[in-house]
Structures are given as structure tokens and as C-alpha cells.
A and B are shown apart, each in its own frame.
Chain A
Amino acid sequence: MRPRTVFAAAAVTAAFLAGPAFAGPTLDKVKGQGMIVCGVSTGLAGFSLADSQGKFTGLDVDYCRALAAAVLGDANKVKFAPLSAQQRFTALQSGEVDLLSRNTTWTLQRDTQLGLNFAPTMYYDGQGFMVPKKLGVKSAKELNGATVCVQPGTTTELNLADFFRANKMQFKPVVIEKLDEVESAFFSGRCDAYTTDASGLAATRVSKAPNPDDYVILPEIISKEPLAPAVRHGDDEWFDIVKWTVYALIEAEEKGVTSKNVDEMLKSDDPNVKRLLGVTPGMGKSLGLDEKWAYNAIKQVGNYGEIFDRNVGKNSPLKLERGLNDLWTRGGLQYAMPIR
């Protein structure tokens, strides 16, 4: 007697399988899909934030769009995958996303142990503290005994403990994974101070505080936080593209190429601009891209300065200074390697 009936069951789940994606060399995969999958933050004003209609905006988001324009010729061919701090590295390692553009700090351990390659820094940041004005605190050194709200699983949490240890001070952390909740906890007075990257503090203060003037950001910056896009180890071709797209955006600003004047700039006599915009061919081909790669990125998204001003700088609610993120020619750290 052999079993004549087998309970067939998998039909329902099979309908749900969204065809597994094979990550070979990432560029082929991206071109095959006609879309870049970009891991971004679940919500951080100025860097990656979805509005009520589900559209993402921000510095990290614009970089992904610029990359899509460079690789696929269309800045809209990006799928944004919002990732929590916990999920981001696994998502990249497993090939779920093609790159991580998610205010991620470049550290040695991540570069090595987690198997990441970091592109040039998109935003030089540092960790700071925000406190309610009414506490009357003027310096982070006065925070002994304070309760501090912090998100777990980030370099922030470790820097915080280091800072208090180094200064022989005590503190109580309130550790909450969801950004929304950690902010709510701070604004409802559960903590005396909230710590994260200074840009994040500014964003939170402007976009989430009931009344921004009731809160001050303390002057101390307790860490270096270079926020950079990251890709997996082992695909150098893709890494090059991600890396040089950042440089192209910076180079464009340095040479005064903007989304508005990029068409006129095609007629420029400057050999640097000619190479950048593909008037003198060769650069795109070396990267395995169309010669118009940088032109498309700049035309559709803008140069680094435009992206900065639009999302976090003077044209945004955050109104952050360029500071370290200014061009090297103006005393900042943004320095594009020669495109030639």
C-alpha cells in the first residue's frame, strides 16, 4: 500500500516568492534588473526620509539617485530599502541591497570583519549631545549622572560609554532601537540628553522637536563619524563605480558644473570638465559605464554642493554649515581624486 495522496501545501507560499535574485558581479545584476537596490535609513531628516506619500528624500537618497543616473541613465531607477541599524550589514552581505547609503560610519572593524568596502565619505560628522535648554547645561562635561537616550547597535552607543568612562562620569542609558521612539522618549523628558551624530541632532531638533528653541546642541563633538556609502567585499568593479560617482559629484562642484549649467558646460574648454562630462571619452568606458555617466548624475541630481544645500544645508530646514564638508579649496575635507 503506497501513499496515494500527498498533502500538497506549498502552493500558497510559492505565490509569494519574489523571484530570488542572483548577485553575480553587481553591475550585471543592476543592469539586468534595470534598477539599483539601495539600503537607506528608515527615517532621518536630511539623509533619508519618506514623506506621507512614501517618496524618499535626503543626502543618502540623492547619492543613490545620482548612482542610478550614472549607471542606468535614469535617477529614478532606484528601489529604496529602508533598513534598521541592526539589519543593514546583513542586508548588504546577503545581496539584498546593492549598496548601503545609510549614514554608516566608516570604521576599521566594519571595513574588515564585516567585509565592507567604503566609498569616499559623503558627510563628515561627529557625535554630539542635545539637551533641553531649561537644564542649563553648557558642556557635555557637565552631564555627570545624566540619563542619555541612545540607539543601540551603533558606534554611537560605544562612543557614549567611552566618553563617560574617559571623563570619569556616570550615566544611565535608555536604549531604544527605533529612531521614532528614542526621539519621543527624549522629547517627553525621559532622558536628560540625546546623543547621535551632530547632523542627526540638528535634523531631529528642527524636524521633530515640538519647539526647536527649547533644545540646545552642546558644543562638544566626541567622535569622528565619517558617513560613507558601502558595498560588499569582492566586487571591485562595482566598488570603483560607487567610489568614482562620489568623486564625480565633488569634482563637479569644484569645477562649477551644476545641474543648471551642465549642458553649457559640455562646450567648456577645461580638459577636466571635458573628461568629467564625457566630451573627451574614456572615463565611462574605464568604469564599464556609458560615457555620459557623470553628466547624467549631475544633470538629474546635481553636484555635491547642490545635493548638500538641498538636503541638509542652507536650502533645507536643517541649515547645517558646510564646515568639514566644504571643498578642500575652501578649507573643508571634500577632495576628489583626479578624474583622468
Chain B
Amino acid sequence: MADLAESRLAPSEPLKPPASSTGVIGWLRANLFSSVWNSILTLIALYFLAVTVPKAVDWLLVDATWQAANGRECMAAAGGACWAAIGEKWRFILFGRFPYEEHWRPLIVCVVFVALFLASCDRRLWGMPLLAIWAAGLALNALLMWGGVFGMTYVDTSLWNGLPLTLILAVIGMAGAFPLAIVLALGRRSHMPAVRAVCVAYIELIRGVPLVTLLFMATVMLPLFLPPGITIDKLLRAQVAIILFAAAYLAEVIRGGLQSIPRGQYEAADALGLGYWQKTRLIILPQALTVVIPALVNTFIGTFKDTALVIIIGLFDLLMLANAAMTDPNWRGFATEAYLFVAAIYWAFCWFMSKYSQWLEADLNKGRRR
């Protein structure tokens, strides 16, 4: 009896879901062919991929030429990409006219920058340690770029080309813009109308015009602005333009952070008897800046991409060098390859940073979520 009851009460084997809703087929059904409309979309997408992907793979890899003495050999070979051209020119594209035997110096500079980026990703280092690391890294880089000591030859800033130039412009641009942006953001939220007006005018003026005009101003008008006889290095002029430009955008990001701080924080600080600067430095800014860190990373990505505009004022950045490299008559006609090479470098940097910013945003919001 008991046996019988037990066997009757024992749950029967759970039924497996129908084969059509699990495994590969189920996944396909759920994600690609869930409705007629979806199936049509899938087929269109598949057709698009079938047309483009094999062609791209053929061009990029299968038919590509990896070894060639010059461009004519490349042209004569299969119709694919000519990576031999990049193999020949990559050092020129990356480091430009920096003295050839000394290319190890900009190479180390780039490695140091990447290491600094990676170190900045580690939240345990945030704060003073990171600042110290950056200061040391930048000092080392300045030493390596300029040289003139320890047996390294002096290298003029006009020979700072390629990837190091891009990284320097972006990093110094951001570092220089940051303090200015904080002042502007605070000024824009100030209770003093004149201060507010000045800051608003600056921010809106800069954000209303393209970076190109600022770069033009830096190259063409700055010499006129300065007293006779004083000249500024060409690189520094572009750098100043990028700093002034980035500061306006950064200021708006920081203002967003300031606005997100609840009123109570200000009032509590006032109640403690803190002055304006104490309040701002100890209570408001630490909170406001933490909130906007992901947006700061995004602004940095923007600045990083914006450095490509210095091609317009004739600085030898990656893009300019890619162009210049492909005017060598021995390697003419491989602009696409050179652009792809440079695009891959930019993409790798930007993509990594944007992924980090997304991760960081999610991570920082963990504590906020209720």
C-alpha cells in the first residue's frame, strides 16, 4: 500500500521541452526566425553578409600580398590588399620624421602611455598614487621625446610625429583642460552674474564654433595676438587650441556632475561653517567628479579623435603620415591600406576606452541602485 501510494505520489519525470525550442534549432527559432518579418530580416542580413564578408576576407587576407619589393610587384600580384606597403612604411606612419635610429624612444613613450592608461583603469590607484604615477610617466616621456641628456640626441618638437604626437596632444589636452573646465563649471553655477556671464560666454562661444577655426586661430592669429618678437612652438599652439576647446566641453560635463549633487550637501557644508572653496574642494567636487567619470572618459575619447584634426594645420599626426607615406612613387596607390592601418590604431584605443567607460558606469552605479 505504502509503496503504491509513494509511487503514485512520486513526481513523474519532467517532460523535456519540445526539441524545436532548445539547442541550436530553438535558439535559431527564438532569435532569427520568430516571425515572418523576422525571417525576412534574417535572410536580408544573411544575404548582405554573404555578399560582403567573403569579398572583404579575400581582399584583406586571402588575396593580400605580404611580401613585395615595391608597389608594382604588389599591383601585379593578386588583387588583394598590399600589406607589404604597410610592412615597409609602418615605422614612418607611427613615428614619422623622428630620427630613425632613435625610434625606440617614441616607442617607449607609446608603451608608457598605454601603461598609464591601464594603471588609470585600476580603481585602487585612484587619487594621489595615480597622480604621482602620471607625473612620473609624463616626466619620463618628456625626457624621452626631448632627449639632450644621457647620450640621447636633442629632438625638436617639429619632429615629434605620429602616434606619440596624437597621444601627447590628447593627454596634455585633457590634463590642461581639466582645471580650466572646473573653474568654468563652478563659474557657470556661481551666484555672481558677471562671473556667470563670462563663463557662459566662453563655453557657448567655443562650443558654437568648429575646432578647425580654433586651430586656424592658433596658427594664424596667435602670432598676431602676442607682443612682437614672442613666438610659440607650433606644437604648443595646437596644444593650446585643443586645451581651450576641450575645456568648454569638459566644463559642461562637470556642470552635469555639480547639478547632480543634492542641495542638502551644500547646506550641510554651510552648516559646518565651511567656506566656499573648502566646501567645493572637500564636499562638492569629490562627489560631482565621481559621478561624471564615465562621461569624462567619453570626453577623452572625443579629444583623442579630435587630435586627428591637426592634419589641417600641418602637424604630422598619424593621418598626415599615412598620407605622406603613400606618396612615395614606389608605393603609390595603397592609401586604403594605410588608412585602414591608422583606423585600426585609433579604433583600438577608442574602443577599449569606451568599453572601460561603459563598465565603469555600470560598476559605479551598483551602489546607487536601490
Contact = CB atoms under 8 A, between A and B. Distances in A.
A and B: interacting chains = yes
Interface of A: 1, 3-5, 7-9, 12-13, 15-18, 20-24, 42-43, 50, 52-54, 79, 81-84, 86-87, 90-91, 93-96, 177-178, 180-181, 183-184, 187-188, 207-210
B91 to A, nearest CB: 8
Contacts of B180: 9
A53 B100 contact: yes
A50 B97 contact: yes
B239 A16 contact: yes
Contacts, number: 126
Interface stretch (B36-44, B202-210, B270-278): B270-278
A336 to B, nearest CB: 33
A181 B314 contact: no
Nearest to A19: B233
B262 interface: no
Interface in B59-84: 71
Most buried by B among A52, A187, A209: A52
Contact of A180 (B158, B276, B313, B324): B324
Contact of A54 (B98, B142, B320, B323): B98
B99 interface: yes
Q: Is the interface of A mostly helix, strand, loop or mixed?
A: loop
8 contacts: A5-B277, A13-B239, A20-B231, A21-B231, A90-B219, A90-B224, A184-B323, A207-B329
A54 B100 contact: yes
Given A5-B278, A181-B323, 17 more contacts: A4-B275, A7-B182, A7-B183, A12-B176, A13-B176, A17-B233, A18-B236, A20-B232, A23-B229, A23-B231, A42-B314, A54-B97, A54-B99, A79-B158, A178-B323, A180-B323, A208-B332
Interface of B: 71, 92, 96-100, 138, 142, 156-159, 172, 175-176, 178-180, 182-183, 219-220, 223-224, 226, 228-234, 236, 239-240, 243, 275-278, 281, 311-314, 320, 323-324, 326-327, 329, 332-333, 335
A184 B183 CA distance: 46
A3 B280 CA distance: 11
A208 B327 contact: yes
A237 B268 CA distance: 70
A208 B329 contact: yes
A96 B229 CA distance: 8
Return the 3 tightest CB-CB contacts between A and B, nearest first: A94-B223, A9-B179, A54-B97
A94 B230 CA distance: 8
A17 B240 CA distance: 11
A210 B332 contact: yes
A3 B276 CA distance: 8
Contacts of A87: 219-220, 313-314
Most buried by B among A9, A22, A82, A84: A9
Given A87-B313, A94-B231, A187 B158 contact: no
Given A9-B179, A24-B229, A43 B92 contact: no
Nearest to B322: A180
Contacts of B240: 13
Given A7-B182, A53-B100, A87-B219, A18 B327 contact: no
A18 B183 contact: no
A187 B229 CA distance: 42
B228 A210 contact: no
Given A3-B277, A13-B176, A210-B333, A22 B220 contact: no
Contacts of A183: 327
B299 to A, nearest CB: 17
B314 A83 contact: yes
Nearest to B312: A177
Nearest to A17: B236
B275 A1 contact: yes
B333 to A, nearest CB: 7
Contact of B314 (A16, A50, A82): A82
A52 B100 contact: yes
Nearest to A79: B156
